Amino acid sequence: MDMDLRSVKIDIIKAIHNCSQRGLYQTVKWLSELNYALNDVKLKDSEIPKYEESEIELEEYLVAKSYFDCKEYDRCAHYLKKCESPKSKFLYYYSSYLSIEKKKMDGMADTNCPPDPKKDDELRNLASQLLKDNVREKMDGYLLYLYGLITKKLDATSIAKDTLQRSVESEPMLWCSWFELGKLVEDFSTLPDHWMKQFFIAHASLEQLRNDEALQMCQSLSNKGFVKSMFLMSQLALCYHNNRELDKAITMFRRILKLDPYRLDNLDIYSNLLYVQEMKTQLADLAHKVVTIDKYRVETCCVIGNYYSLRSDHPKAVLYFKRALKLNPRFLSAWTLMGHEFMEMKNTNAAIQSYRRALEINSKDYRAWYGLGQTYEILKMYFYSLHYYKQAQQLKPNDSRMIIAVGEIYEKLDKIENALKCYFKACSVGDVEGLALIRLSKLYDKLNDTENAAAAFTEYCLREESNKDKAYEEQTDFYNALQYLANYHMNKGQLDDAYTYAYKCLDCDETKEQGKALLKEIAAKRVERDNENKMVESTTRDPSEAVNSSDMNFSDMNMEN
């Protein structure tokens, strides 16, 4: 779909005004950033929308809006209770909703036990009141958004999906409605054909782990004139993160911070990348930076938690993840990361609880499913572990780590055929961490299938040969594989190949002695082989050569006589 950037900018400016009047500040921020990305597109004075405040209920609206901006939500709702204009009506319901949410958070004593949203009577009453006062056909796009948001919180997902779709049909510039639809709609063809839909596809594809689709849409939008959009840059960084292209993701986050050094959105993901890459100095710098910007943001708490985790101070890391959840009990990353920390502390019960909370927020969080699989594997409850690993693998079908985890559990359950299939599949989709081949090799060795084991070990060694920065466990596997191949080729009588592998075993302390013993044995076999060859040569000389030689000697004798 082609875009007229001038028309797009006019749409954005109108939407910023309408959303700002209704207190939808996150949508205003998103639209304003998008508008800034189009700062090269200049509008004429005649094209800039002009607004005049309506006189209807203006006094009530203005005083209520001032209370709303000061976060005095009950006071705001009180002044708008009898108002009938769409703008005032929305602000009445929205301030009532925010008041309920604020009181809920203020009264939360234990972040590990947040209230069940399905038992939230106040929220349910507000939803009933909203439906009673506004028949669905008479709701505008803004009220439909609010009703969809509330029903989604009450886990009435089918109603929420239908309502939010009606909202974007009525008000296609309402980004908050598009955002809430991200996890609910899988068939994008049912949504209205508006240019905002392309931004939704970039967001929703990423939410649903359709990374290639998200990446393609982000790049397409950048090419259409939104190359300066911080939203698209952050989406690209997340795509790279999900695709395990860690260097690209880190580079993109650095670019974002260079352009907007005070932006905290998604920095929890950036800190995860620095943690995985063990970039301690960069993570320490990031932690110091975010604290100076805003130490009471959930992203800040997660960055500091990752910093302490990398320093192996797991209790302090848990403390900061709990602080993040005090600020936002539904912040997914904090629950998952806290589960990882409890795993490090061997507190399996707390880890299971954390991962389950993460899945209540987002059932498509593969990290939480994978974490539960690991936890139950530690507890030796392999059937439970297999179930959770399979859930993670379904969400990330081409991630070799998930497939290998399923294969290892099958192996522990003595389901060898299933384990072999998993390791083969992990090799075919791209063995990210180089584990599938070694697992496959060891399993063939365990089954005494020497031919297949040798073939798998050979391919594994060829791949690992160039990896100079192998971890200790990987080094051990590599040299054990060399030792296996040396023995295999020696038993097959392929002494040159055996010598090559045995000689490489000398580079490792653990296989050095075995390597020396193999080299001696190979040398002895070579001597034995050479002697056998000499004996064979002496007993298989050409008979015609022998006749010619005797004839020569006979004629020489005659000549002498």
| 287-319 pLDDT per residue, tens | 999 999 999 999 999 999 999 999 999 999 999
Residues 6+ apart with CB under 8 A from 16: 28, 31, 32, 35
Distance CA 130, CA 457 (A): 66
* Contact (CB, 8 A) for 134 and 163: no
pLDDT score, position 546: 46
Of 242-251, 273-282, 393-402, 472-481, minimum mean pLDDT range: 472-481
Above 90 in pLDDT, residue 33? yes
Residues 6+ apart with CB under 8 A from 128: none
The pair of structure tokens assigned to 382 is 């392999």
DSSP 116: P
Distance CA 457, CA 485 (A): 7
3-state SS, 212-228, equals: HHHHHHHHHHHHHHHCC
3-state SS assignment for residue 419: helix
- Which comes out higher in pLDDT, residue 138 or 181? 181
Query: In terms of residues, how long is the chain?
Result: 561
The pair of structure tokens assigned to 211 is 């990374």
Topology (CATH level 3) of domain 264-359:
1.25.40
* Contact (CB, 8 A) for 367 and 351: no
- Which comes out higher in pLDDT, residue 118 or 24? 24
Distance CA 277, CA 283 (A): 10
Please name the CATH architecture into which domain 434-536 falls: Alpha Horseshoe (1.25)
Above 70 in pLDDT, residue 280? yes
Above 90 in pLDDT, residue 45? no
Nearest Cα residue to 353 out of 116, 154, 111: 111
Outline which parts of the chain fall under CATH 1.25.40.10. Answer: 264-359, 434-536
Amino acid at 95: S
3-state SS, 156-216, equals: CHHHHHHHHHHHHHHCCCCHHHHHHHCCCCCCHHHCCCCCHHHHHHHHHHHHCCCHHHHHH
3-state SS, 279-309, equals: CHHHHHHHHHHHHHHCCCCHHHHHHHHHHHH
- What mean pLDDT, rounded, does the chain reach? 87
Helix locations, 38-72, DSSP H: 58-69
Distance CA 274, CA 292 (A): 19
pLDDT tens figures, 132-179: 877 766 789 999 999 999 999 888 999 999 999 999 999 999 999 999
Beta strands in 305-379 (DSSP E): none
* Contact (CB, 8 A) for 351 and 343: yes
Amino acid at 289: K
The answer to whether the Cα torsion of 355, 357, 360, 365 is positive or negative is negative
Nearest Cα residue to 303 out of 263, 342, 330, 343: 263
pLDDT score, position 135: 72
Confidence of residue 114 (pLDDT cuts 50, 70, 90): low
Above 90 in pLDDT, residue 250? yes
pLDDT score, position 469: 56
Nearest Cα residue to 145 out of 113, 169, 121, 112: 169
pLDDT score, position 555: 40
Confidence of residue 550 (pLDDT cuts 50, 70, 90): very low
Distance CA 415, CA 336 (A): 30
Residues 6+ apart with CB under 8 A from 7: none
pLDDT score, position 519: 87
The percent helix, strand, coil of the chain (3-state, each to 5) is: 75, 0, 25
Distance CA 454, CA 483 (A): 11
DSSP 117: G
pLDDT tens figures, 369-380: 999 999 999 999
